[in-house]
Amino acid sequence: MPREQLTKIPQGFNNNIWWNIAHVVVTHQLLLYGLGKKPLMVNDTLVANYRKGTYPQGIPTEAEIQEMEELLLTTVEKAENDYTEGYFEEFGEYTTSLGITLSSFEDALAFDTFHEGLHLGVILSLKKVVV
């Protein structure tokens, strides 16, 4: 998909496809690794730009797009391997903005899946109006 379509914010929307993709990756890391008290695979700049409460700012570079393409899959694969290996021993309880309390890694994983589904719906809606 051309960068112009990835970054277009259509009338009636407050974000774009690119922001939703990056937001899902960052949120996955914060929910699983952040609450699991483990180092994130994403850098502080990505977290600052795409965490909850942010909005699209500027146009990503080709390097940023390639980095996100890689992170989109590698973060999920690493989380699966880390979970299988028993890497997540601690967990910091967190109540989401929806009032759902996450008390374990499994809770965070279930919520992350729900969260990704919400943003997939937004991405599909955006795709209909920007393509």
Residue range 20-34, pLDDT digits in tens: 999 999 999 999 999
Residue ranges in the chain whose pLDDT is less than 50: none
CA end-to-end distance (rounded Å), the chain: 9
Is-contact 21 123, C-beta < 8 A?
yes
Region of residue 99 (phi > 0: left; psi between -120 and 50: alpha; otherwise: beta): left
Cβ atoms of residues 30 and 102 within 8 Å: no
CA distances from 72 to 26, 66, 68, 100 (A): 9, 10, 6, 25
Provide the pLDDT for residue 66: 94
Which pLDDT score, from 0 to 100, does residue 41 have? 96
Other C-beta atoms lying within 10 Å of the C-beta of residue 12: 7
Calpha distance 50→18 (Å, rounded):
10
Spacing of C-alpha 21 from chain mean position: 6
Cα–Cα distance for residue pair 36/100, rounded to 1 Å: 17
- Residue 1 confidence (pLDDT): 84
Please tell me the predicted confidence (pLDDT) of residue 31. Answer: 98
Q: The pTM is what?
A: 0.94
